Amino acid sequence: MKMKSENMTAPHIEEAEIERQRLLCDTIEKELFSRGFGKERRPGYYIQTFGCQQNEADSERMAGIAWMMGYRPVSDPAAAELILINTCAIREHAEKKALSIIGTYKHVKDKNPGVIIGVGGCMVAQKHRADQLKNSYPYVNFSFDPGALHLLPELIYHALTGGKRRFVSSDTYAVAEGLPTHQKQSFKAWLSIMYGCNNFCSYCIVPYVRGRERSRTPEAILEEARRLIDGGARDITLLGQNVNSYGKDIGSMDIAALMRQICALPGDFRLRFMTSHPKDASDALIAAMAEEEKIVPHFHLPVQSGSDTILRRMNRKYTAQEYLRIIDKLKSSVPDVSLTSDIIVGFPGETDADFQETLDMLAAVEYDAIFSFIYSPRKGTPAATMEGQIPREVSSRRFEQLLSLQHDISRARNQRFVGRTIRALCEEVSKTDPDKMTARSDSPRPIHFENNKGVPVGEYCNLEIVSADTFSLYGELK
Ligand code: 5AD
Ligand code: SF4
């Protein structure tokens, strides 16, 4: 049997290939400048992102590449010379939304035939969707799936110089190191530590569109963490579709050890991670959360359903009892831990009794918040062809019932912060009132407050929590 050794690595895109793409960025910049653009008059790029934090992180890479090619961000697609749409495939609704937005860009192209339109993300990793773009959206210049993100310079260069439309998919899904990033906010950073998923939950499209698990090396991650912290990052979220199985594919340190090493880096920052699978919620990870001050005591641990029958059909590899044991461990090891979850209602075969067990799970765990979804059949996944598909009216009714219970739980849970003074990071100024601000701390809920001391975005402040409702906490500056 082949043993995993310390220096195993996931397949990587060769450095020479990344370098080739970087050089193309320079070529594109020259080409753009020869067309009348310049450092003082950069052409605009507009990136629209759908879906999860992994897509947010990928969009920051796209922005980094666009910036390197001489583009600047614009907030109106009509003013852009480059439009990139980063799509999601997790539910049908996400695909429909993306397709309808892409549809509206026809008018942008009519007005400015030179605009380059590219579509990336999980939706286009499905052949039928890439074909649909090719056949029904003739103004789209190219598509590239998440494994082909590093080819963006080549695709843009090709489109810019009048090449044919291209629809690229990656079969290799190798890790690409060394791509530039342009963070939306320097104090808040996504740090992808692994890509893909091996779990094949029976409803989920992710393993088909993002490939198998590939961990980055601890060295590459630590180097990026250092760079982010030096650049002012105060809130770093480690990302992966199944982030707590980090390292298993390369036989390296696990996520707990990795997080401890990141925490040991000097700097005033906090560390989060998502998304975790209960089967990999190890004692070591719980201990790291309990002991490391920089790790935010918030565990997003999707349960999906409270029924063992449904969990088995979902291929989740744990029972409700086993899940609750992890929750007990978390609650007893990490004082005042915040818990959140993803729940799917209306999975094929879900009976009223199964659904009741999900409600019981919510009541037993007392999550701070949940992200709940009505089951959406995804082409090519086992659940899509399972018997017992649930009529929409039934799913919708269950969904409402679930939300109503969770709202009561959230409202009650949020009260525990009232009266406490907590250190929080100021994240944004209210869009409607410049004197109001939103900050974030250990709770997944935003804290709203009157900024009467002029605390800048990206700085910490101390807030006394004076009240709380279902979705928010309200504080006063101390
Ligand atoms: N239908 C509904 N929800 C889904 N999710 C994943 N696939 C589906 C689907 N086919 C939900 C899961 C997952 C979250 C990111 O999206 O709850 O944890
Ligand atoms: Fe999808 Fe399951 Fe993998 Fe999460 S763990 S990405 S739900 S297959």
pTM of the model: 0.95
CB 98 within 8 A of CB 63: no
Q: CA-CA distance, 243 to 255, in Å (whole number)?
A: 8
Q: Is 91 in the pocket of ligand 2 (CB under 6 A)?
A: no
Helix ranges, 297-391 (H)? 308-313, 320-333, 352-365
Q: What residue type is 139 in one-letter code?
A: Y
The pLDDT tens digits along the chain (478 residues) read: 344 445 689 999 999 999 999 999 999 999 999 999 988 899 999 999 999 999 999 999 999 999 999 999 999 999 999 999 999 999 999 999 999 999 999 999 999 999 999 999 999 999 999 999 999 999 999 999 999 999 999 999 999 999 999 999 987 789 999 999 999 999 999 999 999 999 999 999 999 999 999 999 999 999 999 999 999 999 999 999 999 999 999 999 999 999 999 999 999 999 999 999 999 999 999 999 999 999 999 999 999 999 999 999 999 999 999 999 999 999 999 989 999 999 999 999 999 999 999 999 999 999 999 999 999 999 999 999 999 999 999 999 999 999 999 999 999 999 999 999 999 999 999 988 889 999 999 889 999 999 999 999 999 999 999 999 999 999 999 9
- In the reported structure, the alpha carbon of residue 242 is separated from the centroid of ligand 2 by a whole-number distance in angstroms of 7
Q: Is 381 in the pocket of ligand 2 (CB under 6 A)?
A: no
pLDDT of residue 1: 38
Residues with Cβ within 6 A of ligand 1? 90-91, 203-204, 302, 304, 342, 344, 373, 375-376, 378
* Residue from 288, 301, 53, 86 nearest 192 by CA: 53
The pair of structure tokens assigned to 77 is 């697609």
- Ligand 2 atom closest to Cα of residue 275: 4
The pair of structure tokens assigned to 178 is 């060394």
pLDDT of residue 7: 60
Best substitution site from 90, 195, 210, 241 to test ligand 2's pocket, by max atoms within 8 Å of Cβ?
Answer: 241
409 Cβ contact list (under 8 Å, min separation 6): 362, 363, 366, 367
Q: Is 276 in the pocket of ligand 2 (CB under 6 A)?
A: no
pLDDT of residue 2: 40
Query: Strand 298-300 relative to strand 338-345: parallel, antiparallel, unpaired?
Result: parallel
- In the reported structure, the alpha carbon of residue 334 is separated from the centroid of ligand 2 by a whole-number distance in angstroms of 26
Q: What residue type is 77 in one-letter code?
A: P
Q: Is 143 in the pocket of ligand 2 (CB under 6 A)?
A: no
CA distances 446 to 215, 284, 343, 450, 474, Å, are: 31, 29, 21, 13, 8
- In the reported structure, the alpha carbon of residue 201 is separated from the centroid of ligand 1 by a whole-number distance in angstroms of 9
Best substitution site from 126, 203, 305, 398 to test ligand 1's pocket, by max atoms within 8 Å of Cβ?
Answer: 203
Q: Is 209 in the pocket of ligand 2 (CB under 6 A)?
A: no
Q: What is the DSSP string of 121-158?
A: ESGGGSHHHHHHHHHH-TT--EEE-GGGGGGHHHHHHH
Letter string b/e over residues 402-414, b meaning 16 or more CB atoms within 10 A of that residue's CB: beebbeebbeebb
Phi-psi bin for 419: left (phi > 0), alpha (psi -120 to 50), beta?
Answer: left
Sign of the C-alpha dihedral, residues 118, 120, 123, 125? positive
Phi then psi for 66, rounded to 5 degrees?
-60, -40
Phi then psi for 456, rounded to 5 degrees?
-75, 155
Q: What residue type is 178 in one-letter code?
A: G
CB 39 within 8 A of CB 67: no
pLDDT of residue 207: 94
Best substitution site from 197, 203, 373, 402 to test ligand 1's pocket, by max atoms within 8 Å of Cβ?
Answer: 373
Quickly count: other Cβ atoms within 10 Å of residue 210's Cβ: 22
